[in-house]
A and B are shown apart, each in its own frame.
Chain A
Amino acid sequence: MNENPAALLPELFLLGAAVVGLLLGAWLPRDRQWLVRLLAAAAALAGLVATAVAAARPDELVFGTSYAVDTPTHATRAIVLVAVLVALALSVDATAGHRRETEFVVLLQLGALGTIVLGGANDLLLLLAAFLLASVPFYALAGWDKSSLGTEAAMKYYLSGAFLGVAMLTGTAILYGVGRATGYGPLREGLAAAPVAAAGVGLVAVLAGLLFKVGGVPGHFWVPDVTDGTPPAVAAIVTTIPKIGGLVALYRLLTVAVPADALDWPLLVAVLAAASMTLGNLAAFFQTTVQRLLAYSTISQVGYLLIAVAVAGRADLAQPALLYYVAGYAVTNLGAFAVVAEFPQARTIEDYRGMARQHPGLAVALAVCLLGLIGTPPTAVFVGKLAVFTAAVDGGFAWLAVLAIVNTVASVFYYLRWIAPTFRGTDSEAAALRPAGTWSAGTAYACAGLAVGLGVAGGVALPLLVGLPIPV
């Protein structure tokens, strides 16, 4: 039994900073709460260092076989921690000096901790616990600003989460019942001999919870309302961070615990991927508010990401494609939300008309991020899509690659609906484009730069992501 807590250093840093930050915030005056944010940033940086150190060591299973410390976990940690840093910077303008600033930071950290554990969980019970840890703080975060829309969003988020969480709990119980284990390794053996119908029902129920986490069809109902009803900083967090761990959890569960010859999960995931990208795109077409547009865009992006899960284990590129795409998606999506956070008064696409005149740099950053989400080279999402499409064709899902290509073209339409007015001139000062501050703008520039830089540096990043999860 390896119960060495040092194997969980990044997670412990997050937890420690959250607990200390909460206590600290309770005693600090309102204008000093930035110390909590600083502590969180320091913890995230320390976590990144610990991740780098851990990545150099051989893979291992810790705490029995419940938690895997391997390449997917390292990648999850690194991406989540970078996303946390970006989210901390992005939210300064909206939350600094707010009387619930500490709560914002702590909830972000706890949710991030949950999503990392989701990525590393190698046991159904731990997966369930991580699901709750990744969900509950984000319910609270959705209602953080106590506006009527935010409260409604939190309510909807909570209700769908509770419903699908119960489904996940039921699924876990069924899988345990028919597979006679909760650890992924023994579960694989158990499921190979289990009745197919019961195992299938159990698996679908567990997938329901994870699909809620990543915001994929059919667990996507909360996404538009939460994204549109919350402040941009919160929307950025809930549409980005849970996806990272959720997708890795899906990947790990399906490849490690479920034998594909007993249950045809690749086809199921392929259909879910197809539904997710198509529905997300179709719904995004004629949205007029930018946050709702981005919400549907994230649903379609999950569809592309699920393709990599569908061919997991059958194409060599599936895992690097998934992890790389997740990383690229995270920075690009956060960059787009950073621009939204910079102009909190600009709700609709029309409000952005003439932005290039007044804020040329931010208009370029927005264009880079949105074109990046389309998958224009040389941005990171392009390399991710290239790898995903290649994996799909290699894994025998060429039709899915074709569908994804058609969807990508369709997505150009609505991203351009936003890009085009920003570069159209009105000489009059656009009233809604009132900058919130320098932090959001700086984050937007950094994310746009990172989206391009990560794409160009794909040659360095991709080889780091090939190590398969243990114990496959």
Chain B
Amino acid sequence: MLSLIVFLPAVVAAVLLLVPATAPRRVFTGAWVGVSAVDLALVVAVWLTPGSGFRFEERVAWMPTVGISYHVGVDGISLPLVALTAVLFAGCAVFALRETRRVKSYVALFLALQTVSLGLFVALDLILFFLFFDLSIVFMYFLIAGWGHGERARAAALKFFLYTFLGSLALLLGFIVLYLAAEPHTFDIVELVAADPLAGGGPAAALALLAIGIGLAVKTPTVPFHTWLPPAHTEAPATGSAILAGILLKMGTYGFLRIAMPILPDTWRQYAVVAVVVGVVSVLYGALVALAQSDVKRMIAYTSVNHMGYVVLGVGAAGILAGSDEQARQLATTGAVTQMVAHGLITGALFLLTGVLYDRGRTYDMAAYSGLAARTPLFAGVFAVAAFASLGLPGFAGFIAEFQIFTGALASAPVATALAVLGILVTAALFLRALQRVFLGPERLPDAPGTPRPFADLHPSETVAIVPLLALATVIGVLPRFLLDVIEPASRALVELVAR
């Protein structure tokens, strides 16, 4: 079942590659929408199947000599992210119905990216995880370089590739240390969790956590490893940014929950305070730098640093035993997973909306726009909803997530949590200011070269792509139980593993 979900997009991509590029573009975009819908339906079926622990496990020996197997499965931590991936790719598929540039390769790349994203979240083998981690970099590189905005996009794509590839290789080094520490040698995550190979701590454990931590921190990204993110986002096409922020960033934080915390529990507890500090610095730094931006896409990119900072704060707090009870740590963990889902949906929607803005005005500069609310009421309304959701207003998923993280982290890291709450204040200020500048006041549209079309409101396909993402974020904000019921058993198990 999981293999079907993971590899269906890749198979369709391979078939599409055989179709001549001269075929009508509807063939490609239609196939993408279709396969995303099927994948989404399959994920819903998995979601509705009851069970506990790892479900739908499949394990086939791959390279037994070096302890590598094809091992997949989902639990309450990975399933929400698998579902997020399916939803966000479906949204991008609908959004891309209006894409006209080299549609065949564009769709094939996205389908391949969908396979590696889904594969990463279900992988239960370190090398399988690494394989998908690396391939996500390769496909995203081609996406940014090929469909980004001009010459600067290549530089941004190169920076993205080099930076995240360095991170991935640091990760690999950490994996090798874990492999050699386990007896018998294995890369299997479940076996490594059970074995707890570096329980004694020591330099090897610290080195492994350092390498894995750096690798994941680059991908997340946290301060000070975030510098690849703003240019990559600014230069990527809208759908690419949505996937980059919505899915690829989650690979980093998911790695903390899936690999770093359960396999290296002692070491994680020892250094959890580092994660807390890094998280809080990311929260504040991301928010403050975002406040200073005039480029709307760059601003949202920096709010991603801020939002992922909350997740890192949550996973760090889950590792501090002193002063906290198990319930608090569990709350922090659940909040971290919820925040990943919430950020994926909301920031995905925001990036698609900036894509709409760029499509009409050919610039991301907020100063170029004014008073759009009168001309494009639907666009303004949807953007406002997304902005309010992103700043953590109650009633949206982001609030549920951040509330849980703060409550869970308050007992063990009171100062850090208090500082992190300030981040919400800053994001509120920056989003309100952005809304005010772009949508209110006298109407002013950019008249730069390359803006041939009249400034149109949201196209139906754009509405269909974006509104469900925000609707889902609202549902999670109002009725979160359906999501939390899935996450909580898994986060309880994880917290017990970390505390052992």
Within 8 A of B (CB), among A100-129: none
Complex Cα spacing A401 to B180, Å: 14
Within 8 A of B (CB), among A157-200: none
User: Cβ of B166 and Cβ of A409 under 8 Å apart?
Assistant: yes
| Other-chain contact of B131, A377, A387, A394, A398 (Cβ < 8 Å) | A377
Complex Cα spacing A458 to B66, Å: 10
In the assembled complex, the CB of A368 is this many whole angstroms from the nearest CB of chain B, namely 10
Chain A 356-377 near chain B by CB (<8 Å), digits 1 or 0: 0000000000000001000011
Chain B 153-176 near chain A by CB (<8 Å), digits 1 or 0: 010011001100110011011001
Complex Cα spacing A392 to B158, Å: 29
User: Cβ of B158 and Cβ of A463 under 8 Å apart?
Assistant: no
Complex Cα spacing A386 to B66, Å: 9
A317 contacts the other chain (Cβ, under 8 Å)?
yes
Complex Cα spacing A317 to B176, Å: 12
User: Cβ of B180 and Cβ of A409 under 8 Å apart?
Assistant: no
In the assembled complex, the CB of B443 is this many whole angstroms from the nearest CB of chain A, namely 37
Asked if A416 meets B65 with Cβ closer than 8 Å, knowing A393-B177, A401-B173, the reply is no
Asked if A405 meets B130 with Cβ closer than 8 Å, knowing A376-B135, A387-B66, A459-B63, the reply is no
Complex Cα spacing A423 to B162, Å: 18
User: Cβ of A402 and Cβ of B173 under 8 Å apart?
Assistant: yes
Complex Cα spacing A458 to B141, Å: 27
Q: Size class of B's contact patch?
A: 20 to 34
Asked if A405 meets B65 with Cβ closer than 8 Å, knowing A371-B138, A377-B131, the reply is no
| Other-chain contact of A377, B66, B135, B146, B170 (Cβ < 8 Å) | B135
In the assembled complex, the CB of A317 is this many whole angstroms from the nearest CB of chain B, namely 7
- For B135, the chain A residues whose CB sits under 8 A away are 376-377
Q: Size class of A's contact patch?
A: 20 to 34
- For B207, the chain A residues whose CB sits under 8 A away are 398
A61 contacts the other chain (Cβ, under 8 Å)?
no
- For B356, the chain A residues whose CB sits under 8 A away are none
B68 contacts the other chain (Cβ, under 8 Å)?
yes
B57 contacts the other chain (Cβ, under 8 Å)?
no
User: Cβ of B162 and Cβ of A420 under 8 Å apart?
Assistant: no
A291 contacts the other chain (Cβ, under 8 Å)?
no
User: Cβ of B63 and Cβ of A377 under 8 Å apart?
Assistant: no
User: Cβ of B64 and Cβ of A463 under 8 Å apart?
Assistant: yes
User: Cβ of B66 and Cβ of A462 under 8 Å apart?
Assistant: yes
- For A398, the chain B residues whose CB sits under 8 A away are 207
Complex Cα spacing A320 to B63, Å: 12
User: Cβ of B68 and Cβ of A416 under 8 Å apart?
Assistant: no
Complex Cα spacing A377 to B135, Å: 7
- For A317, the chain B residues whose CB sits under 8 A away are 66
User: Cβ of B158 and Cβ of A420 under 8 Å apart?
Assistant: yes
Complex Cα spacing A387 to B66, Å: 8
A48 contacts the other chain (Cβ, under 8 Å)?
no
Q: Give the nearest-CB partner of B69 in chain A.
A: A459
Chain B 127-147 near chain A by CB (<8 Å), digits 1 or 0: 100110011001001100110
Complex Cα spacing A227 to B307, Å: 51
- For A393, the chain B residues whose CB sits under 8 A away are 173, 176-177, 180
B194 contacts the other chain (Cβ, under 8 Å)?
no
Asked if A408 meets B131 with Cβ closer than 8 Å, knowing A383-B63, A393-B177, the reply is no
A-B contact count (CB 8 A): 80
Complex Cα spacing A386 to B65, Å: 12
Within 8 A of A (CB), among B175-201: 176-177, 179-180
Asked if A378 meets B64 with Cβ closer than 8 Å, knowing A405-B169, A405-B172, A409-B162, the reply is no
Complex Cα spacing A409 to B161, Å: 9
Complex Cα spacing A386 to B130, Å: 11
User: Cβ of A413 and Cβ of B158 under 8 Å apart?
Assistant: yes
User: Cβ of B154 and Cβ of A420 under 8 Å apart?
Assistant: yes
Complex Cα spacing A200 to B440, Å: 81
User: Cβ of B172 and Cβ of A386 under 8 Å apart?
Assistant: yes
Complex Cα spacing A378 to B135, Å: 9
B448 contacts the other chain (Cβ, under 8 Å)?
no
Complex Cα spacing A425 to B102, Å: 10
Complex Cα spacing A225 to B138, Å: 32
Q: Give the nearest-CB partner of B131 in chain A.
A: A377
Q: Give the nearest-CB partner of A361 in chain B.
A: B17
| Other-chain contact of B169, A394, A408, A413, A459 (Cβ < 8 Å) | A408
Chain B 53-75 near chain A by CB (<8 Å), digits 1 or 0: 00000000111111010000000
User: Cβ of A390 and Cβ of B134 under 8 Å apart?
Assistant: no
| Other-chain contact of B62, A406, A425, A459 (Cβ < 8 Å) | A459
| Other-chain contact of B161, A390, A412, A459, A463 (Cβ < 8 Å) | A412
- For A155, the chain B residues whose CB sits under 8 A away are none
Asked if A376 meets B66 with Cβ closer than 8 Å, knowing A416-B161, A420-B154, the reply is no
Q: Give the nearest-CB partner of A417 in chain B.
A: B158
In the assembled complex, the CB of A402 is this many whole angstroms from the nearest CB of chain B, namely 7
| Other-chain contact of A320, B65, B162, B179 (Cβ < 8 Å) | B65
Considering residues B66, B102, B135, B157, which has the most beta carbons from chain A within 10 angstroms of its beta carbon? B66
| Other-chain contact of B127, A386, A406, A462, A466 (Cβ < 8 Å) | A386
- For A463, the chain B residues whose CB sits under 8 A away are 64-65
User: Cβ of A378 and Cβ of B131 under 8 Å apart?
Assistant: yes
Considering residues B64, B165, B166, which has the most beta carbons from chain A within 10 angstroms of its beta carbon? B165
Asked if A412 meets B162 with Cβ closer than 8 Å, knowing A317-B66, A377-B135, the reply is yes
Q: Give the nearest-CB partner of B133 in chain A.
A: A377
Complex Cα spacing A462 to B179, Å: 17
Asked if A423 meets B68 with Cβ closer than 8 Å, knowing A383-B63, A386-B127, A409-B162, the reply is no
Chain A 409-425 near chain B by CB (<8 Å), digits 1 or 0: 10011001000100111
Chain B 421-454 near chain A by CB (<8 Å), digits 1 or 0: 0000000000000000000000000000000000
A389 contacts the other chain (Cβ, under 8 Å)?
yes
User: Cβ of A409 and Cβ of B165 under 8 Å apart?
Assistant: yes
User: Cβ of B165 and Cβ of A412 under 8 Å apart?
Assistant: yes
In the assembled complex, the CB of A397 is this many whole angstroms from the nearest CB of chain B, namely 12
- For B177, the chain A residues whose CB sits under 8 A away are 393
Q: Give the nearest-CB partner of A458 in chain B.
A: B63
Q: Give the nearest-CB partner of B180 in chain A.
A: A394
Asked if A390 meets B66 with Cβ closer than 8 Å, knowing A402-B173, A459-B61, the reply is yes
Complex Cα spacing A420 to B162, Å: 13
- For B131, the chain A residues whose CB sits under 8 A away are 377-378
In the assembled complex, the CB of B54 is this many whole angstroms from the nearest CB of chain A, namely 22
- For A424, the chain B residues whose CB sits under 8 A away are 145, 154
Complex Cα spacing A393 to B176, Å: 8
User: Cβ of B145 and Cβ of A423 under 8 Å apart?
Assistant: yes
- For A386, the chain B residues whose CB sits under 8 A away are 66, 127, 172, 176
- For B157, the chain A residues whose CB sits under 8 A away are 420
Q: Give the nearest-CB partner of A390 in chain B.
A: B176
User: Cβ of A409 and Cβ of B169 under 8 Å apart?
Assistant: yes
In the assembled complex, the CB of A308 is this many whole angstroms from the nearest CB of chain B, namely 14
- For A320, the chain B residues whose CB sits under 8 A away are 65
Complex Cα spacing A424 to B64, Å: 41
Chain B 267-310 near chain A by CB (<8 Å), digits 1 or 0: 00000000000000000000000000000000000000000000
Complex Cα spacing A393 to B185, Å: 13
Chain A 435-472 near chain B by CB (<8 Å), digits 1 or 0: 00000000000000000000000110011001000000
Complex Cα spacing A345 to B455, Å: 48
In the assembled complex, the CB of A365 is this many whole angstroms from the nearest CB of chain B, namely 13
In the assembled complex, the CB of B457 is this many whole angstroms from the nearest CB of chain A, namely 32
Complex Cα spacing A393 to B207, Å: 12
Complex Cα spacing A413 to B163, Å: 11
Within 8 A of A (CB), among B203-221: 207
Q: Give the nearest-CB partner of A357 in chain B.
A: B102
Q: Give the nearest-CB partner of B104 in chain A.
A: A360
Q: Give the nearest-CB partner of B132 in chain A.
A: A377
Complex Cα spacing A408 to B167, Å: 12
- For A390, the chain B residues whose CB sits under 8 A away are 66, 176, 179-180
5 additional A-B residue pairs with CB within 8 Å, beyond A405-B166, A459-B62, A459-B64: A320-B65, A377-B131, A390-B179, A409-B169, A463-B65
Sample of 6 A–B contacts (CB below 8 Å): A386-B172, A387-B66, A393-B176, A412-B165, A420-B158, A459-B65
State the 9 A-B residue pairs at the shortest beta-carbon distance, nearest first: A459-B63, A377-B131, A462-B65, A405-B169, A409-B166, A458-B63, A390-B176, A459-B62, A463-B65
